[in-house]
Amino acid sequence: MTPKETPTRSDYFRDQWRAWRVLGALELNARRYWSGAMLLNIVVALYAPALLLSMFSFETPLENITNFSLSITSTATVLKFGLYVLQLGRVGDLEKVIARLDDRVEGAEQLRCHRQMAKKLRHLSNLFLYTYGFVLLNSEFSFLFRSERSLPFPSWFPFDWKTSTVNYIGALGFQLVAIFGQILQNFVDDSFPPLALCLCAGHCQLLILRISSIGHAPSEQQANEAELVDCIKDQKELYGLLELTRDVISWPMLIQFFVMALNIGATMFGLVFFADTMQDRMYFVSYLLALVLQTYPVCYYGSLLEDGFGHLHYAVFGSNWVSQSRSYRASMTILGERTKRHPRLLAGSLVPIHLSTFQGTCKAAYSFFTLIGNTRERAGPDPSQN
């Protein structure tokens, strides 16, 4: 197999590694804290307290909802980014396992499946890139169309920026840099888990093709036995890949699931009841799309991966085992027993990374949406709208 037939391992997470480099994640992982990218991380880290200190202190419900949603998002983003920084070494180990599995790809059918997997990964990464780029544009420029002096998002500052031009430029520059850094952090935090699970699911499918094709082509029995032993090693590599993926994404995904229901419920409430300008609607729609993108793809590929491991057991009996040697059938029995293990990814060893979790998150978001609505009805009409 030539290098042109399969992409290099760096292609899979190319955009994610670029984002980590811009954000200084490699320097942080190596405990090198004095670099140009550290300033960006400091600004992003200070942005969350600036939002939290002003929570529920604004005059209009739209500002309060926007501030609440951004506060929990910013806090979760900083925590997730820190967890990924600590696990960057495991990401390198994960890529080494993927490279070894890539070297096992051979034959027209496997090459076609591998190319489809690589294309799917590129499209998935681009989907995150374009979506978060759209969110960035809406966040950075929507405030320009407002009639009075304003900031992209409501937050607390220890100075008066409304009456002083110098203070306003400082507050505006701080928010623009913080928003850019935070959206870049969100991109890499949210795109890596589905890409990693898509790779696991793709290589599981390739292993299914590899096992089920043994013995169907003219070949010696010794060659078939050797291929089956190699497939057993591939299965061990695949389980190792899944374990590494789980170690990297487990706790960040638990944080993500925890804040997702609150975020979707609050964002939907702001969009339905308080967004009255086109700029506000565009922001809330793009933000809601980004929230769904944070959870649905990783849950989808978690379910797909679970189904793939379920089909791995049947692939063993899809090979031409009847006409093979006793040694082959003994190895096949061992592999068949090993494939009965159906691993399930859990976020923080608690929540399944599965479509059922996404469904539960949507139900929880609706419950939070109705809770806010009931609280608003009991509180009476908003005085600012009179």
Question: Where does residue 60 fall: left (phi above 0), alpha (psi -120 to 50 degrees), or beta otherwise?
Answer: beta
Residue 26 half-sphere exposure, CB side, CA atoms within 13 Å?
9
Q: Tell me the pLDDT tens digit for each residue of 12-53.
A: 999 999 999 888 888 888 887 666 677 777 788 887 777 777
Residue 384 included in any domain:
no
> In this predicted structure, what is the pLDDT of residue 342?
74
Residue 118 included in any domain:
yes
Residue 381 included in any domain:
no
Count of domains forming the chain: 1
Q: Tell me the pLDDT tens digit for each residue of 216-258.
A: 777 778 888 888 889 989 999 999 999 999 999 999 999 999 8
Residue 382 included in any domain:
no
High-pLDDT (> 70) share of the chain, %: 91
> In this predicted structure, what is the pLDDT of residue 142?
65
Long-range contacts made by residues 316-323, C-beta under 8 angstroms, separation at least 24? 316/211, 318/211, 318/212, 319/211, 319/212, 319/213, 319/214, 319/215, 319/216, 319/228, 320/214, 320/215, 320/216, 321/214, 321/215, 323/215
> In this predicted structure, what is the pLDDT of residue 250?
93
Domain containing 128 equals: 13-376
Residue 2 included in any domain:
no
Residue 97, pLDDT > 90, answer: yes
The C-alpha atoms of residue 154 and residue 152 are separated, in whole angstroms, by: 7
Q: What is the pTM of this model?
A: 0.87
Residue 1 included in any domain:
no
Residue 94, pLDDT > 90, answer: yes
The C-alpha atoms of residue 67 and residue 61 are separated, in whole angstroms, by: 10
The C-alpha atoms of residue 79 and residue 48 are separated, in whole angstroms, by: 11
Residue 385 included in any domain:
no
Residue 169, pLDDT > 60, answer: yes
CA 27 vs CA 11, 80, 262: distances in Å? 22, 17, 33
Residue 3 included in any domain:
no
